[in-house]
Amino acid sequence: MNKWFSETFLPSVFDRAGTDKSMWLSRKQTSICVDNMEKHTVMQAQFQGDYTRHNYYTAEWNGRKIDLQYSKLNGCGTITFSMTKEEAEESRKAYQAEREAEKIERRENLKANKPERIAMHVEKESAKVDHIKEEIADLYKELSNTDDKELIEDINDDISFAEQRLNEAQKELNFWVA
């Protein structure tokens, strides 16, 4: 990848394209990308057993993956820039926060409009918590009745997993009680 391509061309295309959406490039822009990106060829199945060759190009720039799909018919291509790891993590956190806010809003709507449904959720989550607590107690009994090292390790793994499920169930119960 030459310096002009990575310091001038790609930033200008990225400014217009953004992340995770394709943008059509002109023949000239596509030609520049083809000359500076890594070529990959795949065979694609067509009708009645025929195959055609498809070329696509990839590169990595500033922590982003770049994908260029190339058309032999018109010489143009579409380019896509991925998010950086930091942007993807930030996007994931924003998505989770949005989902949590929606969940809280639904709970508040239920409290206002159908309070009996809240009681149903609390009862269901309480039963789940009680069931997991019983499961953990049974695992501890089983653990105290054995000397088999391999079985002890398996039971400890089961206990850890059950405690994790218990914490999740208690969070869900607390959510509905709040």
Domain boundary among 62, 82, 102: 82
pLDDT value for 101: 92
What residue numbers bound the domain in which 93 lies? 84-112
SS3 42: strand
Residue 143 in tokens: 């653990």
pLDDT value for 29: 94
Does one domain contain both 38 and 19?
A: yes
Does one domain contain both 78 and 143?
A: no
Does one domain contain both 63 and 44?
A: yes
Cα–Cα–Cα angle for 19, 22, 4, rounded to 5 degrees: 70
Does one domain contain both 16 and 64?
A: yes
Over residues 102-143, the pLDDT tens digits come to 988 888 887 778 778 777 878 888 888 888 888 888 888 887
pLDDT value for 112: 79
Q: Which residue stretches of the chain have pLDDT < 50?
A: none
Does one domain contain both 10 and 64?
A: yes
Residue for token digits 């994931």?
92
Does one domain contain both 49 and 102?
A: no
How many folded domains does the chain comprise? 3
Q: Indicate the pTM of the whole model.
A: 0.59
Does one domain contain both 33 and 88?
A: no
Does one domain contain both 121 and 141?
A: yes
Does one domain contain both 59 and 13?
A: yes
pLDDT value for 38: 95
pLDDT value for 80: 95
Does one domain contain both 77 and 50?
A: yes
Each as own residue / partner, the long-range contacts of residues 133-138 (CB below 8 Å, 24 or more positions apart, any chain) are 133/166, 135/162, 136/162, 136/163, 136/166
pLDDT value for 76: 92
* Strand duo 51-61 + 77-81: pairing: unpaired
Does one domain contain both 103 and 119?
A: no
pLDDT value for 58: 96
Does one domain contain both 45 and 77?
A: yes
Domain boundary among 95, 112, 129: 112
